[in-house]
Structure 1
Amino acid sequence: MAKLGEGDARWIVQDRPDGVNVNNWHWTEKDMMPWSKKRLQELFSGLDLVPGNTLISAQATGVDKVEGEAIVNNRKNKLIPSYELEVSIPFEGTVKDGDGHVAGSVKGSVLFPYISDENADEDPEVRVSTSSQGSAEQRVKDAVLTKGKKVLYDSIRQFVAELRRGGTISSDANQAAPNRTAQQSQPAAAAPQQAAQQAQQAQPEKTHEKKQQKADGTQAIELEERFYARPSDLYECFTNAHRVQGFTQSPATIEPKEGGQFSMFGGSLSGRFTQLQPPSRLAMDWRFSNWEDGVLSKVQIDLSEPQAGTTELKLKHSSIPYQDRYGHGDVVENVRRGWEGQIFQRIKAVFGYGI
């Protein structure tokens, strides 16, 4: 990731006396760190990390560290974010006994060591620590790591979606915010019409894969990839839980039968098998956790062996929604990057199937 101000001078807009960027042809860079610090402070001030628990409470008190870089580039009204952030969130908690009396008070912090555009398709790593060790501290820590993970991830997803739109906060994004304590006020900024138009125009650059816009508003992509492996080897990379966990480096559950459920990347991706024809074809219903509830896309993978020991994979991924639940409109590009970077390239690297 290029640092702010270190882009190629041939593409960065220089100051002009008339202040005009003709046809928005060149790149413009916007430093998003000031906005990021302010927005993260808003999202994590008073956030209830253990909702619905009457005996254990934990409340975020803002952020005490936001380090790294966040930039949004704009070329011809296309917004291209680039960010790498480390975020620390302090919290205070209590543990009550069976009679409702406070049995212990706890202070701790949640650390996101790496929030980046490179892992935008995955839930980032999260670490929870407390200032001291004891029974109460352990109970609060466990609660935050279980019940609180969804709340934390929802807030991070909302932040990333707003960052990718250029830092504007829409009323829809505010409505999607997790529950907060009564003392926490909700941000009321609304996205200007111009920013909304720019977000709609922020389509990805053309890539080698085929893309289609369907009449129902969904999208489709087709990809082809070659592997130095047999079709049965690639088939197992999608139907064998040990292999899936091997290249994703995260928890996975796989039920390899038609109608069987699967979950990858710690639950951020899930679905079910609709067709299994080993070793040449798989079809799946496929969804990401940040899509609207009930939204399913369709995946078909065909495997052939044009040469001995070389497998050609053809992927058709259809019914991809245009937006996720947070109004983020580059879902199809994230899906493409996920297949290429998080699945195909990882399979090649981990199992040595690269050509």
Structure 2
Amino acid sequence: MGCCFSGGDGKLAEQEEPAPQFSWEKREKLDIKDFTFADKKGEELGKVPGKINGQRFIIKNCEDCTIYLFDHMATITVDDCTNCRIFVGPNKGSIFLRNCKSMKCVIACQQFRTRDCRGVDTLLHCDSKPIIESSIKMKFGCFQYYYPELYDQFKAAGLKAFNNTWSSIHDYTPVPGEDNWSLLPEDLNVEEFLPLPASDELASVGASLDPEKSVVPLTHGTRRPVGDLSCLVLVFRNEHSDERIRAIIREIHNCSDCVLLKTRQTKLDPQDVTRMFGGIPAHKEAAKKGLVTSLEVNGSDTISKCNTIVQQVAMDCVVYISEDKEAASRDHDNWLNFLDSQMTM
């Protein structure tokens, strides 16, 4: 190797081998300025799908700006911003807001953290409990947003739209007798909260604020229940389940005296089905086909109403619904214990 014959004199001539090129040397060189909005005032700024593509992003020292990040990213920091409105697409890691005040945000992330913030209102999707530290007058609601690429961006960021702990806030620095955070009203006008973009480029993304189109289901969270009965609905995966789950949720939202408290999507083994919900063969077999989606519904006469809804829109799916009030209470406790054990594994 490294030799060849030269001419006809039979002598070997050395030939230089090209230096090896490593994979990181072939990567496109990125300019941090393309992933930063800094020192802006009174502007509409944004990135359309494909422009961030999983990279880290930085927002700092902005005032009176409206910012739309219509893409998935690795992590994002927001520092020293005042009176800004920000949309942040699916974030694989954490978003960290520091020294921000009078903000309105719509955010999807794995981890949400704030420090030294005041008056930040957030419509949130978060896979883990949101954390606030040395922050006051913080308000939270459930993420509501849609544009065509958002579903695939959630998958690229490793986020599950049904796993949202937006209202389970952990305050690292509580003040006795005071509340540093609260929940936004359910009838919040999202378009007033964060208007759709005005520029042609950002408007072309096709964003929608219709809660029924939102990639993340709109949930009631830890607000006061509206009724005395909660029941558990489990939808097992098949080729129709994604569409049917959305249809069930639409019907629940249309019930005047029922609310969707929370949702969860997780793996459920046949032995888990037997232990928590009995050994019905159809449930055990269906658990082998993929993730199971839980819907916790609260209101009046919820068991009867959930059965009616499933019969109307999801008869081609395998579904478990709590049988009666006693079973509903038992199912709730078993399911929460199961989810807690999953999070500690």
Query: How does the TM-score come out when normalised to structure 2?
Result: 0.27
Higher relative contact order (CA 8 A, sep 6+): 1
Q: Which has the higher strand share?
A: 1
Query: How does the TM-score come out when normalised to structure 1?
Result: 0.26
